[in-house]
Amino acid sequence: MGGSAKENLFDAAARCLGCADVARKLELTHATAQAILAGELRTDAGARPPSPIGEPGRPERPRLVSPRDLAQRGLGSAGGRAALVHAVAHIEFNAINLAWDAVYRFRGMPDDYYRDWARVADDEARHHALLAARLAELGHRYGDFDAHDGLWDMAVRTADSCLARMALVPRVLEARGLDVTPGMIARLRAVGDEATAAILEVILREEVAHVAAGSRWYAWCCEREGLDPQAMFRRLLDEHMRGSLRGPFNVEARLRAGFTPAELAGLDDLAA
């Protein structure tokens, strides 16, 4: 992997997180995830504490703008479909950084926690590669369209709490993909874009497991801190998401991803 023989899991995660070259980041992510899953990289109680959260490694493009400044494009044109593929590719690239930050930042978690998020990082890198290849088929590359930074903004806001991170990134922001992706797939099929629809089917299926990892470790953090998961989730939603939560929700997928019926009812109450 090109790292020091003494490199631990946290150092390796930091290298993946900090890498700004897209191709190299995907390679590093796969190699590091495989090493963690094989037990070749382990946590180290004597490792340096995590640095304060900053900007993750990412290329100069795409240009990051406010979500309200992103152009709205229909799927009836090749350019509109390329813009959609680019938007999802950007989400997946951000998700690589989010997974590695979850590995790097939160210490003292069980080994299964680090294995789960290394596996998620590897999946997200594969998703990005699939979308980048599709983007090339449509005559574009990652960075050709503007994008926004909402996912990483929430990572910054939850940098001091694994519990809040698990609740608000996988279980709110990433879970939104479970809600909107089926509609995107249907619209793509309606305009004859089976190739992109097939990629989104793969991503939708695998993202259920990613959100489920968030549910699992959110519940673990609540148990460790003696908190009621449902009450705490509602409190975090009230604090961070009131007025910005959107429905409708993919109830079947969210139930498979570890949401309870009571939690889903609470989401309906808060949805704008």
Q: In the chain, how many domains are there?
A: 1
Q: At 45, which helix (H) or strand (E)?
A: none
Residue 213 covered by a domain? yes
The parent domain of residue 128 ranges over: 77-270
> Is 51 a domain residue?
no
Q: Is 161 left (phi over 0), alpha (psi -120 to 50) or beta?
A: beta
pTM of the shown model: 0.94
Whether 137 contacts 195, CB under 8 Å: yes
Q: What are phi and psi of 37, to 5 degrees?
A: -65, -30
Residue 66 lies in a domain: no
**Distance (Å, whole) CA 2 – CA 144:** 31
Quick one: pLDDT at residue 7? 81
- The predicted pLDDT at position 3 comes to 43
Peptide bond into 62 cis (omega under 30): yes
Structure confidence by residue, pLDDT tens digits, 118-176: 999 999 999 999 999 999 999 999 999 999 877 899 999 999 999 999 999 999 999 99
* CATH number of the domain to which 125 belongs: 1.20.1260.10
Q: Is residue 43 part of a domain?
A: no
Q: Would you say residue 16 lies in a domain?
A: no
Asked whether residue 2 is domain-assigned, the answer is no
Q: Is the pLDDT of residue 5 over 50?
A: no
What is the rounded average pLDDT for all residues in the chain? 93
Does residue 28 lie within any of the structural domains? no
Q: Is 64 helix (H, G, I), strand (E, B) or coil?
A: strand
In a domain, 82, yes or no: yes
